[in-house]
Amino acid sequence: MVWQAGEEIILRLFRPSDLAQITELERKVYGSGAYSYYFFRQLHDLFPRLVWVAERGELLVGHVCGAINQTGHTGWILNLAVQAHSRGRGVGSRLVAQVVEELRASGVHEIRTTLHPENEPGIRTFERNGFVRERIEENYYGDGVDRLILRLSVKEAD
């Protein structure tokens, strides 16, 4: 994907040296609901192959975070964030596809995520990657806000 005159956006695994940039990007996208520095560090320690960043030059323009439940059957995409100036360029879709591949390779049977029910651009990003709307769960985080749960069924390789 070419950004402008040779500035390519690449996807790569998150590194601990990215902590300052990833938390700043997270804060810009999610404000007071942003995940912390500590969250990203610990998620990397638990699931080093499930935290990916999109980078243009030396700047992070997006990230995605995955996790796997205790049984190993369900993968989750916990977080997807793309800088406002990089949206609409396929960055989010590429990040989702990358973490889906990693989750698939880990052997999960399904992948889930949650979004605000009115986040149509986000919903479209996940639907382009095969996710289907499953249900709306009221007061999902206990803050009075409902969340749409999307699901991707992962077929086992033959």
**pLDDT at residue 156, rounded to an integer:** 62
Distance CA 16, CA 122 (A): 27
User: Chain-centre distance of CA 28, in angstroms?
Assistant: 15
pLDDT, position 103: 98
CATH architecture of 9-153: 3-Layer(aba) Sandwich (3.40)
Query: In this predicted structure, what is the pLDDT of residue 2?
Result: 38
Q: Are 126 and 113 in contact (CB under 8 A)?
A: yes
Contact 64, 79 (CB under 8 A): yes
Determine contact, residues 92/80, Cβ cutoff 8 Å.
Answer: yes
Q: pLDDT category, 3, cuts 50, 70, 90?
A: very low
Q: Assign 155 a pLDDT band (cuts: 50, 70, 90).
A: confident
- For CA atoms 124, 153, 74, 149, the dihedral sign is positive
pLDDT value, residue 92: 95
Average of pLDDT values for 13-39?
95
Cβ(138)–Cβ(146) below 8 Å:
yes
Tokens 């990203």 correspond to 40
Dist CA 48 CA 37 (whole Å) = 15
Report the chain's mean pLDDT, rounded to a whole number.
Answer: 92
pTM here is 0.91
Give mean pLDDT, residues 87-109. Answer: 95
Per domain, the residue ranges of the chain are 9-153
Using one digit for the tens of pLDDT, what is the confidence trace for 102-138? 999 999 999 999 999 999 999 999 999 999 999 999 9
* DSSP string over 25-43: HHHHHHGGGPPPHHHHHHH
Task: Give the pLDDT score at 158.
Answer: 41
The whole-number average pLDDT for the span 67-78 is 97
Sort residue 130 into left (φ over 0), alpha (ψ -120 to 50) or beta.
left
